[in-house]
Amino acid sequence: MKKIFLAFAFIFFIQAFSQKNMRKFSVDFNRNIETYFLAEILSAEHRRNNKDFELYKIKECSVYQPIVKKSIEKFVHLKDSKIAFATAELNDVLLEKYGLGNDALMKSLLYHEEFSSNGWVNEYKFEFSRLTREQNNEVTILIKNYLSELSKFYAQEKIGLFFNENKSFYQAAAKEYMKQIPSGFTDAMEQFYGEKFNSYTILISPIMMWPISDNEGRGIGSDVTLKSGLKNIYEIASPFVKVEKAGQFGYDNQFQARFLSIHEFGHSFVNKEVYKHPEKLQKFKDLFEKSELKQAMIKTGGYGDYQTCVAEHLVRLGEIETAKIQKDFERAKKLEDYHLKNNFIFLPQLQDKIKDYHSNRNKYKTFGDFVPELLNVFEDSSVEFINSKLKNQ
């Protein structure tokens, strides 16, 4: 009888452990983020910067993103509203004065409690390493004032009713995305990076416009530090599959779903560690700008900054190593080929270097402990090597 009791206790422990890990990962949508991207649609005609591209996105994405089409039909009368002008002004100021894009807004939208609440999950301050303290304070005020207007817009125009009307689509889209994700991938990431976060959430955004080509969409990574000190991390995902028939919801592509999710979550592990070493990064700056790599990275994904180039390389390294930990060697090989084709020329050297990390985990408890060794790969390079590698891609 005692053995039976112990067996049941063990099974219960395993189930509880499994359920706890599953609760750390979820797929959902966020009303703040969807409301922002709705406001972005309404603002297109008032943009000073990138107006042609914004109008092109509306024309293109409304064909195969049902929520975009429905939102235009329902809210087109608000294209000259206060929030439309405010959204255009916010984006033009952020892009023009501070060199930022709309991805910089995502963290504030997540720190703010979901509309129609006017509260905040925790104190929010905008921080970007390339801006001064005064500039970061200016952007913080700019964003907070904008979110106050966005919250009013949500309440006044009863935007919540729109999400309720389309609730079944959002739920089906979340399930479609969930089907693509490998079981236990957050455990594999935590094993590789040597640290853990409180939760991992994919936020689908069927209203975010990103013209789809070859099943490629847009992912934006973000995080929120709770009052308890725990951190939740997020990936905000545009559709990457054209909805062309019934039963499609925009996320039915396994490679892209896994790539985007692990990639964007990876930034929460990587970026903070990379930016701790400005001196080592500075040594790579000349190589990046004097070689052909800067233009190649801009062409790849708009990565025209040497620090971003390094971080993007290391995040991609993490994707490959996570796949290997899961013994998904086919996925690892696809990722290698995909990233090498897209000018991530340092990956072979980084993969060779990371072997030292794996074999010395007593010394290197976390990925951050090993980052200085990985940065040597970049600073010890040469213009000739870089250009030669790019030429042979």
pLDDT tens readout for residues 27-81 = 999 999 999 999 999 999 999 988 999 999 999 999 999 999 999 999 999 999 9
Residues 323, 184 contacting (CB under 8 angstroms): no
Three-state SS for 128? Answer: coil
Task: Give the residue from 236, 266, 234 showing the smallest Cα distance to 339.
Answer: 266
Residues 134-142, mean pLDDT to the nearest whole number: 96
Least confident span in 6-15, 163-172, 204-213, 246-255: 6-15
pLDDT of residue 299: 87
Q: How far is residue 354's CA from residue 382's CA, in Å, rounded to a whole number?
A: 21
Please report, for the chain, the start and end positions of each structural domain, with discontinuous segments joined by +: 28-166, 168-266, 275-391
pLDDT of residue 17: 39
Residues 371, 276 contacting (CB under 8 angstroms): yes
Amino acid occupying residue 151: S
Residues 221, 308 contacting (CB under 8 angstroms): no
| pLDDT reading at 18 higher than 70 | no
Quick one: 379 exposed, middle or buried, by C-beta within 10 A (0-12, 13-18, 19+)?
middle
* pLDDT confidence tier of residue 15, bands split at 50, 70 and 90: very low
pLDDT of residue 392: 77
pTM of the model as a whole: 0.87
Residues 370, 357 contacting (CB under 8 angstroms): yes
Residues 67, 169 contacting (CB under 8 angstroms): yes
Residues 362-381, mean pLDDT to the nearest whole number: 96
Averaged pLDDT score across all residues of the chain: 92
